[in-house]
Amino acid sequence: MAKTKQLVSVKGIKNTMYRLRKYGQLEGGKATLDDDEHTMMHDGLEMIQKTGVSEYCRRLSVITGKSADGLRTKYTMLKRYGILK
C-alpha cells in the first residue's frame, strides 16, 4: 500500500489553534491580546483606515519600538477574527 502525502503539517495546525485561542474563537476561549492590539481596538477600524493601515502601523511602531510589519500582521489578525470592527 502506498504512503499518502500529508496535506497539512502538524506545525501549521498548532499555529492555527494558537491563533484561534489567542483571539477567543475556540469554545470557551478568552482573547489574550497585548498592548498593541488593545491600542488598535481603542483607535478603531474607521480611524485606522482613514489614516491608512501602513501609515498607522509606522506611527505605532515609532511609539512602541516594534516593527511596522509585525504590527500590520496583528492588525490583519484582529480584522480576520472579527475583533477589530
Instruction: Find the mean pLDDT for residues 74-85.
Output: 91
pLDDT grade for 2, boundaries at 50, 70 and 90: low
pLDDT for 8 equals: 79
- The answer as to whether 55 is a domain residue is yes
Domain count, the chain: 1
Place of cell 483606515: 49
Owning domain of residue 81: 33-85
**Using a CB cutoff of 8 Å and minimum separation of 24, what contacts does 18-22 make?**
19/77, 19/81, 20/81
- The answer as to whether 40 is a domain residue is yes
- The answer as to whether 82 is a domain residue is yes
- The answer as to whether 22 is a domain residue is no
pLDDT for 46 equals: 95
- The answer as to whether 8 is a domain residue is no
- The answer as to whether 47 is a domain residue is yes
- The answer as to whether 56 is a domain residue is yes
Instruction: Find the mean pLDDT for residues 14-22.
Output: 87
- 32-49, pLDDT tens digit by residue? 889 999 999 999 999 999
Which pTM value belongs to this model? Answer: 0.79
- Is residue 18 left, alpha or beta, with left meaning phi > 0 and alpha meaning psi from -120 to 50? alpha
- The answer as to whether 62 is a domain residue is yes
